């Protein structure tokens, strides 16, 4: 009886209110996208380890060498490699190609630095809107990951759900852009920031559309 009273008292405790981080996590973590739990591993109870590893060796013990054969084998390796020297003077990558890569990287870094300097003084969106954009980015990336993992090998049910999820994300983007405009932000700049993600979504939806057309 005392145990039931104790359990009842514990169960009646009010649940703590969800924090802002919990709300964000609910926005990003979609239960349908969580990976399935791996099957339980069978732990081997090996009584005689020597016999177990002998059985796993696949008859290696049957290949036996005499002492003279072993010496001859080692001497052969020694003769083969005793005059070997690393040729560090030989160029693996042509100088022109290496310089070109270095120049391109330097140019990219300079452009990014100029862009940061230019936008640092720009009007910034409220943290709530920025968080909404980040949540949208994370959730869409997760749906894309599951879309392609179920695309090949093909898992029809899951892939169709992910396709619908990507379409919903496209609609959700419109809501985000409305929020950006309401705070006097630049919707075009927001879309430009999300451009790689939006391109990936369009590519996935196009692949899903082609697969449906092939079935017809």
What is the DSSP annotation of 199-215?
A: HHHHHHHHHHHHHHHHH
Q: Please report the pLDDT score of residue 12 as a whole number.
A: 54
* pLDDT above 70 for 24: no
* pLDDT above 60 for 202: yes
Which one has a higher pLDDT value, 93 or 81? 81
Report the share of the chain in percent with pLDDT over 70. 65
123 class by beta-carbon count within 10 Å (0-12 exposed, 13-18 middle, 19+ buried):
exposed
Angle at which helix 127-149 crosses helix 156-182, to 10 degrees, equals 160
Which one has a higher pLDDT value, 95 or 68? 68
Q: Please report the pLDDT score of residue 123 as a whole number.
A: 56
Q: Residue 19 contacts by C-beta under 8 Å, 6 or more apart in sequence?
A: none
Please give the average per-residue pLDDT across 38-46, as a whole number. 62
* pLDDT above 50 for 5: no
**Tally of residues, the chain:** 216
Please give the average per-residue pLDDT across 95-107, as a whole number. 84
* pLDDT above 60 for 142: yes
* Weakest-pLDDT range from 82-91, 129-138, 193-202: 82-91
Which one has a higher pLDDT value, 74 or 117? 74
Three-state SS at 57: coil
Summarised one tens digit per residue, pLDDT across range 156-183 is: 899 999 999 999 999 999 999 999 999 8
Residue 160 contacts residue 176 (beta carbons within 8 Å): no
Please give the average per-residue pLDDT across 14-41, as a whole number. 61
Please give the average per-residue pLDDT across 8-24, as a whole number. 58
* pLDDT above 80 for 210: yes
User: What's the whole-number average pLDDT of the chain?
Assistant: 78
- Tokens linked to 30: 């979609």
Q: Please report the pLDDT score of residue 40 as a whole number.
A: 63
Which one has a higher pLDDT value, 67 or 35? 67
Nearest to 130 by CA among 24, 30, 18: 24
Q: Residue for token digits 């909404």?
A: 132
Report the share of the chain in percent with pLDDT over 90. 28
* pLDDT above 70 for 212: yes
Residue 187 contacts residue 177 (beta carbons within 8 Å): yes
């Amino acid at each position: 009886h005392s145990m039931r009273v104790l359990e009842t008292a514990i169960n009646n405790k009010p649940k703590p209110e969800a924090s802002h981080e919990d709300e964000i996590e609910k926005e990003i973590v979609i239960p349908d996208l969580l990976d399935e739990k791996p099957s339980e591993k069978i732990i081997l109870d090996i009584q005689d380890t020597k016999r177990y590893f002998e059985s796993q060796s696949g008859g290696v013990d049957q290949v036996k060498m005499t002492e003279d054969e072993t010496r001859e084998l080692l001497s052969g390796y020694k003769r083969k490699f005793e005059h070997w020297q690393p040729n560090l003077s030989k160029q693996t990558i042509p100088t022109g190609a290496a310089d070109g890569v270095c120049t391109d990287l330097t140019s990219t870094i300079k452009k990014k630095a100029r862009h940061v300097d230019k936008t640092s003084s720009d009007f910034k969106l409220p943290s709530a809107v920025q968080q909404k954009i980040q949540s949208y980015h994370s959730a869409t990336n997760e749906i894309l990951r599951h879309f392609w993992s179920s695309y090949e090998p093909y898992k029809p049910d899951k892939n169709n759900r992910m396709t619908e999820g990507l379409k919903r994300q496209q609609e959700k983007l419109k809501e985000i852009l409305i929020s950006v405009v309401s705070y006097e932000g630049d919707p075009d700049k927001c879309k430009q920031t999300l451009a790689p993600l939006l391109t990936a979504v369009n590519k996935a939806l196009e692949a899903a559309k082609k697969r449906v057309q092939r079935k017809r």
